[in-house]
Amino acid sequence: MAIKDVIIGIAIIVMTILVSFYGINTFYPKPDYDDFCGDVKTQELIETQERCEELEGKWIVHERIEPVENLAEGFCDRDYYCRQDLEEAEKVRSRNVFLIALPLAILLIIVGAFLFKLESVGAGLMGGGIGTLIYGAGAYWPYSENWIRFILSLVALIILVGLAYWFSKKFGKKK
């Protein structure tokens, strides 16, 4: 493969990843902090647990070895509960992004492997599929358990090895 083909292939990889990333984020945007916690801002100094709870915050107690004079025993985390809701929405979105990116990545790899005779385009789309897979898996990885990571990795490896053998057998040089 000529250097020009390699550069074009790399450019196609990058653009495929960008199209996948921005496409998913355009049609399935990230949860916005203001949608969950936009109304919790206040200029009020909250010094008691009761007032904090009236404002639907969570009172966090300072753990000190010795009490400090003229210092409140804790502080009010005004956006604690709405932040929990935001984090749960982000977790659900991350799982869904993975479920969108996985078949998209597999489709890109298959299309790149089988439909394009021009090697730089096919390899570029396959590389973009791998980048899309990394994006989708990376979004969900922090929220998944080790056994889920293992199963997903194993299945992906088996599919890719099988695809490589099938591709080689179907389109490889005859001996």
Greater pLDDT, 74 or 81: 81
pLDDT in tens, 114-136: 887 788 999 999 999 999 999 99
Q: Is 28:100 a contact under the CB 8 Å cutoff?
A: yes
- Cβ-based neighbour number of residue 5 at 10 Å: 15
pLDDT in tens, 5-56: 899 999 999 999 999 999 999 999 999 999 988 876 667 788 888 988 988 8
Amino acid at 13: I
pLDDT in tens, 60-71: 987 766 666 665
**CA–CA dist 154, 156 (Å, integer):** 5
Arithmetic mean of pLDDT over the chain: 86
Domain spans, the chain: 3-30+90-171
- Residues pairing with 61 in the sheet: 74
**CA–CA dist 47, 42 (Å, integer):** 13
21 φ/ψ angles, rounded to the nearest 5 degrees: -60, -55
